[in-house]
Amino acid sequence: MSTTTVLLTAHEPARHGLLERQLRDDGFEVAAPGSSPDLVLAGTDAELERWCGQAPVIVLGPAEAQPGERVRAFRRGCDDYVTPPFHYDELVERMRAVLRRSGGPRSTPLVAGPLTIDRRARFVTVAGVRIDLSQKEYDLLVHLASDPERVFTKEELLRDVWGFRARSRTRTVDAHASRLRRKLRAAAPEAELVANEWGVGYRLLEPLGT
pLDDT in tens, the chain (210 residues): 356 888 888 565 656 778 888 888 888 888 877 677 888 898 877 777 777 777 888 988 888 888 888 888 888 888 889 888 888 889 988 888 888 776 654 556 788 889 998 876 678 899 888 898 887 898 899 889 888 889 999 988 887 787 675 566 678 899 999 999 999 998 888 878 999 998 899 999 877 554
- Check: CB of residue 7 under 8 Å from CB of residue 35: yes
| Residues listed for the chain | 210
| One-letter identity of residue 92 | V
Domains and CATH numbers, the chain: 5-102 (3.40.50.2300), 110-203 (1.10.10.10)
Q: What is the pLDDT of residue 167?
A: 65
Tell me if the pTM is above 0.75.
Answer: no
What pLDDT was estimated at residue 12? 59
